[in-house]
Amino acid sequence: MINLPFKSNPKPRLSRLISPVFAGILIAGTAVNAWGQTPEINFKPIIRQTIEKAILPGYKNLADVANAQENHLAKLCEQPSEENLTKAQQAFRPLVGAWSGVEMYRIGPAIKNNRQEKLFFWPDRKSIGLRQVRKLIDTQDKTALTKETLQKKSVAVQGVLALEYVLFGKNSEMLATANPQSYRCNYGVSITRAIQTTAQKIIGDWSSPSGYAAVMLETGPTNPIYRSDAEVIQDLLRISSEMIQSTRDLKIQNTIKESPEKSKPKRAPFWRSNQTLHAYQNNLHAVEDLFIKGGLAELTPRYAKSLSFELEQTNKFLRKLEQENIAWEKLVKQKESHETLAFTLIPLEGAHYIVSDLIPQKLGLSLGFNSLDGD
């Protein structure tokens, strides 16, 4: 990574701020694409591998981790104590990691019936969701205490961020001293069950005989979504591109702004639990898993290697900051850590360009509509 002095505008220009490895891949890519040739590629094995090795295991992990979180919370509800509250809070970290590992899959089953928003209502620009969660706790609405009735409520009160408020929000310390089976604690249990159910429904809609996996694998003129295997690969590249772009623009740049003084740390997800950096790292690991475990890397090995390099450079910065063990709100306001966060935008821009431009060009594809355009 090139070390350059920090500038007031944290968004770098790719033409000036790129790693040596990425620069080399750019030159090579230009030479190859100049011929305008696209080799015949059998995409179907890659599509199958992606579903079986990346997507389905990710959602199964989310369901399993949510179940573990439920068990810790249930014990806290039965026996309130500092120790049990700490264990329940510690169990939230793997849940954040599991969710962040599937967040990118905004296709098919995940966007059916607002499931993505049910799992992760973010950004909550007007704090609508936060107010709804607080109201449930303040009024002790009993219809939020069963999974079935909770899932009929607003998407904002049944996901990972609602659970974060239960465990880490205002007055959450009282969970350690509350009477057994307190409302707030049981509401948290209900949320974990809703998360599990939503994850299982997504898995079911992927893997059923006529599910989304079959839609991706049986492309053709009668397919309602994908007319060719190439369109499936385009969709997988698009969601990868959007995950990188969301991490860079919406999560980091929109939070750090131009300076520590102007930063808005509460715009980031998971700031209450101080799991923001953990979430970002897992967002980027998910992109790499799609390429490595899912097999997309086999289509363009050289570009995939460069992509891995750029993602790892970003995560090195994020790991360094996380190891400082400073609350996110304070971290963003510090000059040195703010500068480090600004540097993450450099490899993220490189990674985004590889996925959104170079790889599609190499494969003769076009990503088309980007759901983040205009955000």
pLDDT in tens, 329-361: 999 999 999 999 999 999 999 999 999 999 999
Report the pLDDT averaged over residues 80-109.
98
d(CA 113, CA 369): 21
* 207-229 residue pLDDT tens: 999 999 999 999 999 999 999 99
For the entire predicted model, the pTM comes to 0.89
Summarize pLDDT for 102-124 with one digit per residue, the tens: 999 999 999 999 999 999 999 99
The pLDDT value recorded for residue 39 is 53
pLDDT confidence of residue 372: 60
Between residues 10 and 18, which one has the greater pLDDT?
18
For residues 248 and 343, the answer to whether their CB atoms sit within 8 Å is no
pLDDT score, position 16? 39
Q: What is the pLDDT of residue 367?
A: 84
- At 75, the amino acid letter reads K
Helix 301-323 vs helix 335-353: crossing angle, to nearest 10: 170
Q: How far, rounded to the nearest angstrom, does the alpha carbon of residue 229 sit from its chain's CA centroid?
A: 25
Higher pLDDT pick, 6 / 210: 210
* Percent of the chain surpassing pLDDT 70: 87
* Mean pLDDT along residues 270-281: 98
Query: Tokens at residue 170, please?
Result: 């205002």
Query: Is residue 56 scored above 80 in pLDDT?
Result: yes
Q: Per-residue confidence at 98, pLDDT binned at 50, 70, 90?
A: very high
Mean residue pLDDT of the chain comes to 91
Q: What is the rounded distance in angstroms from the CA atom of residue 98 to the CA atom of residue 145?
A: 24
On the question of pLDDT at 32 being above 50, the answer is no
Confidence label for 308 from pLDDT (cuts 50, 70 and 90): very high
**269: preceding bond cis by omega (within 30 degrees):** no
**Cis link prior to 94 (omega < 30° from 0)?**
no
pLDDT above 60: residue 1? no
- The predicted structure's pLDDT at residue 366: 86
Under DSSP, the state recorded for 71 is H
Per-residue pLDDT, 19: 52
Q: Output the pLDDT for position 258.
A: 96
Q: What is the pLDDT of residue 373?
A: 55
Helix (H) or strand (E) holding 250: none
Closest CA to 188 of 243, 240, 226, 133: 133
Closest-CA residue to 267 (of 250, 284, 279, 283): 250
Predicted confidence at residue 238, as pLDDT, reads: 97
Mean pLDDT of 159-171: 98
CA dist 128 → 27, 141, 263 (Å): 47, 17, 22
Q: How far apart are CA 331 and CA 325, in angstroms?
A: 9
pLDDT band at 278 (very low <50, low <70, confident <90, very high): very high
